[in-house]
Amino acid sequence: MSSGTIIGIVTFVYLGTFSLMLVGQILDKKGFQNAALFGAGGGFLLHGAGILSRWYESYSLGVGHVPLSNFYESLVFFSWAIVLIAFLSIRGEARNRVLTFIMPAAALMLGYASFSTGVESDIQPLVPALKSNWLAIHVITCFLGYSSFVVASVSGFFLLRNGHASPEAHPTGTVFYRCVMIGFIFFTVGILTGSVWAQVAWGRYWGWDPKETWALITWLIYAAVLHERIRKGRATKGVAVIALIGLVSVLFTYFGVNYLPGLHSYL
């Protein structure tokens, strides 16, 4: 089975999982929710297999490289990473609620990757600029950072909605802080490895390229989230609002920058 077929199947598994989750929450049936969780886990494993299979296919085409080199491959990895982070960082009731947001988001990304005519899904050889050992580590850490920020902001949204007296004591409050912090660490590593790579490839570690500048904007916003939380002593609604602004910034850093002129336009 080709990796494209696997990714197609995963898209529908994620959509099915999402429907089960919705039905489970509307009818308040534990059985549906458990089945949904099982489906999400299975889809996630298959998703990982799809990525590995594309990696293998690139080698049989004689242009072997990590499948992180174009927009299609980054969409597939990004959607895998948000499911990974959601599973790793959340337990119990909170996980089901956050996954109700994450699963359709992952399905949408995969659907867009597979069916949009604007996204080239063929395996291409690497252009000289991408032929570097920094490619994998830079892209993986950036996307794990993005994904943690997405999961953090979704839990932040629940903080806002619940209007809990002390959101920090709420399970999603814990998840929120943990994901912001993990995201901040990964994204810092992503920016640093990107800097080292830029120094090696272009002779400057920082050039105010739109992608670089937007990465800095995202980093500054989540730095503000962490500092506002310290200032208030806990994750308040204000902190959650800043995190949601951060989510917009993450999406712009990833998608929006493609519409600005710059060196990163291929990703």
Partner 1 sequence: MKQASSTDYKKTANNGNGLPGRLSSLKLAITLLFFITALCLVGTVFPQRDGYVSYGHGLVSWISSLLSPYGIFHSIWFMGAGLLLCINLILCMWKRAHLKRRSLLMLLLHGSILLVIAGYGLGFMSLDGFMEIPEGSTVSRVMLKNGSSQDLGFSVRCDRFAADYYPNGMPKEYISDLSFIRDGQVASRAQVKVNHPASFSGINFYQESFNQSPASAIITVSDGQKKMVLKASEGDILPLPSGDTRVRVVKIWSNLMHAGPAVKLLIEGPSGGRYLWVFRDIDAIKSRVPDLFERMPQFDPSGFRPYTFSCEQTGTSYTTGIGVKHDPGTPLVGAGGLLFLISLLLVFLLPRTSPGVQSSSSGGNPSPALVERSASDTVHKKAQATGCDS
Binding interface with partner 1 (CB under 8 A)? 63, 91-92, 94, 124-125, 127-129, 131-132, 168-169, 171, 173-178, 181-182, 184-185, 188-189, 192, 195-196, 199-206, 208, 210, 213-214, 216-217, 220-221, 223-224, 227-235, 257, 260-261
The CA distance from 12 to 41, in Å, is 14
Toward partner 1, which CB reaches closer, 79 or 121?
Answer: 121
Give SS3 for 166. Answer: coil
Length of the chain: 267
Q: How far is the CB of 107 from partner 1 (least distance, A)?
A: 27
Q: By the 8 A CB rule, do 119 and 112 touch?
A: yes
Toward partner 1, which CB reaches closer, 131 or 161?
Answer: 131
Toward partner 1, which CB reaches closer, 35 or 217?
Answer: 217
Name the token pair of 179: 């994901």
The DSSP-derived string for 193-244 is HHHHHHHHHHS-S----HHHHHHHHHHHHHHHHHHHHHHHSS--HHHHHHHH
Q: How far is the CB of 176 from partner 1 (least distance, A)?
A: 8
Toward partner 1, which CB reaches closer, 17 or 174?
Answer: 174
The CA distance from 243 to 180, in Å, is 8
Toward partner 1, which CB reaches closer, 57 or 228?
Answer: 228
Q: How far is the CB of 96 from partner 1 (least distance, A)?
A: 13
